[in-house]
Structure 1
Amino acid sequence: MPFYHDYSDENAVILYWKYSDDDEFNVEELIEPENLEKAKDYHPKKLLEHLMVRKMLKMLLPEHKILYKTIGEPYLWPDSAHISITHSFPFASLAVSKNRVGIDLEKISSKILRIKDKFLHESEHIWTQDRENEVDLLTIIWVIKESLYKVHLSKYWSLKSHYQVFPFDVNNLSEIKCRVFDDFFSHDFTAKVFKIEDFYFAIVEEKRDLDN
């Protein structure tokens, strides 16, 4: 498994890897007993994605494992840190942080134009509609909102109505303002986005002052 990049900072360890045909995995060693039966039915590429994430975890916290809540949210056991995972073959990424963290990656594709009305906030339509780089803009918004959802999880919220990304320049993706909100509150965040080959990769971290 070739190392691709380390996006770690003072709060989180964030590793990003790319699959290689030379990689070797022991399924029973890497997949948790609680997840093993389900993993047997995975598509081969999906299984490889899960194995890459587990191999990264073994590098960082060899005595820990990834389990899932009933709503599908992954968590670390023993519960010593927050995690976020994302994968889209041939890439996989794992974040381990003392604060809540969300990561997401998505391949750049014009297919996203078909679903934009399902996740774009009304304000985002104004500055993305019919732009020459609309596919890039939409893909970046998507990975940011997916990352926000992992930080501020609620199955009752929609990416369209309760998540907002403010205008940004595709040539400067290091600090993109975004927020999660409803009629009673608004939590502001700053996302970092990286273009990796034909994918966009987003990182959203919760800051300590959000808990105050």
Structure 2
Amino acid sequence: MPLYKTITPNSQTVVKLWKITESFDDLMAPLTLKPETLKRVLGMKSELHQRGFLSVRHLLAEFGYEDADLFYDKNGKPHLKDGKQISITHSFQFSAVIISNGIVGVDIEKQRDKITVIAHKFVGYEADYLDKNAADYIKKLTAVWCVKESLYKLFATPGASFKNCFLVIPFELKDEETVAWIDYEDVKYRYLVHFFEFEGFTCAFALGEE
């Protein structure tokens, strides 16, 4: 089983990453899925998405959970029946799950030049410090997206704008962490977000409110 990486940022939080090398059948065989979960995965048109979805169930097993322990609210935010906080992500051949006693969010994205095409949709305040001519521009842009996506998953509030409600403080890639804010309906929330690069991907995870 290709558990790729385990990170323990604090005593109450664990992040696990999976490298998806198995076939759909190999991923499916050992799993026990709820009927609605099985219907959902079989209805997916992309095998890549199916394998990502199933790899998350394997990550749950690494934490000691089963598919039956997981459910989603009306906004699509995942929850665990025991009350622990969880966030889930998958992108191409990697997936990740973070579980904590406190509120959390996680995201993985592949570093690709095409992110510049949508940058105007999620870069607001950050344009003041992002240098489009810098050699690391794509990597920093991907990090900003990951940070904001992790915050969005954590916040799970429809209508919160990536561009205007999520603010990422200036950072350097070598720092592997930054402070980010959610500014929504005149209330500001401050978070510490960790990020790191691996095999052409970026992962970010946001930890509770400081």
Whether TM exceeds 0.5 here: the answer is yes
Q: Which residue of 2 aligns with 1:5?
A: 5
Q: Which residue of 2 aligns with 1:16?
A: 17
User: Secondary structure in 1 aligned to 2:170?
Assistant: coil
C-alpha contact (below 8 Å) 2:147/2:204 kept by paired residues: yes
Aligned pairs for 1:96-175 within 5 A = 96-121=99-124, 123-132=125-134, 133-173=136-176, 175=177
C-alpha contact (below 8 Å) 1:27/1:51 kept by paired residues: no
CA spacing shift, 1:187–1:197, aligned 2, 3 Å: same
For 2:69 and 2:203, how far apart are their aligned partners in 1?
Answer: 24
Question: What is the letter of the counterpart of residue 2 of structure 2?
Answer: P
Q: Which residue of 2 aligns with 1:29?
A: 31
C-alpha contact (below 8 Å) 1:32/1:65 kept by paired residues: no
C-alpha contact (below 8 Å) 2:75/2:156 kept by paired residues: no
Shift of 1:7: 1.0
Q: Report how many aligned residue pairs link the two structures.
A: 205
Q: Which residue of 1 aligns with 2:182?
A: 180
Stretches of structure 2 lacking an aligned partner (at least 5 in a row): none
For 1:37 and 1:27, how far apart are their aligned partners in 2?
Answer: 16
CA spacing shift, 1:45–1:97, aligned 2, 3 Å: same
C-alpha contact (below 8 Å) 1:193/1:201 kept by paired residues: yes
Query: Within the alignment, does 1:51 sit opposite 2:54 as a pair?
Result: yes
Shift of 1:192: 0.5
Question: What is the letter of the counterpart of residue 3 of structure 1?
Answer: L
Question: What is the letter of the counterpart of residue 40 of structure 2?
Answer: K
Q: Which residue of 1 aligns with 2:83?
A: 80
Q: Which residue of 1 aligns with 2:206?
A: 204
User: Secondary structure in 2 aligned to 1:31?
Assistant: coil
For 1:25 and 1:87, how far apart are their aligned partners in 2?
Answer: 15
Q: Which runs of 4+ in 1 moved over 4 A?
A: none
Fraction of identical pairs, as percent: 28
Of 66, 72, 76, 2:70 maps to 66
C-alpha contact (below 8 Å) 2:23/2:51 kept by paired residues: no
C-alpha contact (below 8 Å) 2:56/2:97 kept by paired residues: yes
Shift of 1:85: 0.4
Deviations 1:5-38 (A, max 9, x none): 1012312121111022478223683433222212
* More off after superposition, 3-12 vs 46-55: 3-12
What's the TM-score once normalised by structure 1's chain length? 0.89
User: Secondary structure in 2 aligned to 1:150?
Assistant: helix
